[in-house]
Amino acid sequence: MQVWSPNMYNMQLWETSGHAANYKENMFVFEIEKQEFGLKPMNCPGHCLIFDHRVRSYRELPLRLADFGVLHRNEASGALTGLTRVRRFQQDDAHIFCRESQIKDEVKGVLEFISYVYKIFGFTFELKLSTRPEKYLGDIETWVKAETALSEALNEHGKPWEINEGDGAFYGPKIDISVSDAMKRKFQCATLQLDFQLPQRFNLSYSAEDESKRERPVMIHRAILGSVERMFAILLEHFKGKWPFWLSPRQAMVCPVSDKSQSYALKLREQIHDTGYYVDVDTSDRTIQKKVREAQVAQYNYILVVGEAEATSGQVSVRVRDKPDHQVMTVDVLLAHFKDMVASFK
C-alpha cells in the first residue's frame, strides 16, 4: 500500500520513537508557536501512526506500507559528498508489519525484489547478516528466532552471504546489502532491517486468532534503491555517462541534413515526443557531420539523420551511439524498436 506521510512532526512523536534522545543532532528542528517540530529524517514513526490509527487483525498481516517521500538529515558539512551524501534526499522507503512466523517469507520477498532491480542495473551486491550486539533490546529467544529466520531466508535466496557478528542494531538484526561502483567503491543502498523496538515504543498490537489476545507485530524496514540521489551517482559511475535507452535523459537527436528537411525533422521530433520519448532536434546551420558528432559527444542513444530522401519517403536514417553504421527504417518501425528497448530495460 502506498502512503504519503507529513514532512514535519511535533517533537513529541520523535520523543516516543527515541529519535529525540538519540538522533536529534542530525535533525532539522525549529519552533512554531512555542512548540518544537522536526523535519523527518525517516518514515518509520509516521508509519507506526498509520498502523495504529485503528484496531488491527492478524488477517491484515503482513501489512506493507511504501512511502516514496522526501527526508532531511542534518549531516555535518564535512561529511557531505556530491550526490552520495546530502541533507535532503528521496528514498523508496517501506515498512512491513508482520508476525514472527512471517519474517522469513517477507525477507525472502525483499531479497528477490532487490535481486530483480539490481539485475536490471547490472549490479552485483554482497550480503551480510549482522547479528545481536552487546547492548540490545528484547529477549534472547526473540533474537534467536529472528536471526534464524533471516539465515533461512538468505539460504533459500541462494546467493553467498556472510555473518557480521555483533553488528546488528540494538533494536534488531539486519541484512547489509552493498554495491560497488565502477571504481570498486562500496556503497550501502538497499536496507533490510528487523525492528522490535518501535512496535514496543508505539505500543502497536493486533488481535490474534483468539480475539481476546493481543500480539505485538515485528517491523521490517526496507529500501531497494535507498537514497535516489546516491543511486544515481553510482549509476553515473557505473554506466560512465552512457545511460541505457530506457533510463537515458537523452534518448534521441534528430539531425536534418539541410533547411529543406528541417520541417520534416520538426514533425518527426513531435511524433517521437508524443509517443513518450525524450528527443531533441538540431536546427543549427552546422554541417551534418558536425551535428552528428555533437550528438555523439552528448551521449544521445540514437542519432536520427533526415534529408530530402527521408522526408519524401517518410523514413529515417538511424545511427546507434558508438556504432559507425546506420540503418534506414520507417518511423513506425523505429518507435516499435524504442518500445522493445524500454520493455527489455536496454
**Residues with active-site annotation:** 44, 73, 91, 93, 95, 174, 221
Instruction: Let me know: does 168 contact 132? Beta carbons within 8 Å.
Output: yes
Q: Which three cell numbers stand for residue 271?
A: 511524433
| Cβ–Cβ under 8 Å, residues 173 and 153 | no
Q: Closest by alpha carbon to 96, among 136, 135, 52, 65? A: 65
Q: Which helix or strand (DSSP H or E) is residue 142 part of? A: helix 140-157
Contact between residue 90 and residue 68 where contact means Cβ atoms under 8 Å apart: yes
* Length of the chain as a residue count: 346
Radius of gyration of the chain (CA): 26
| Alpha carbon 31 to chain centroid, angstroms | 32
Q: CA–CA separation, 79 vs 255, rounded Å?
A: 44
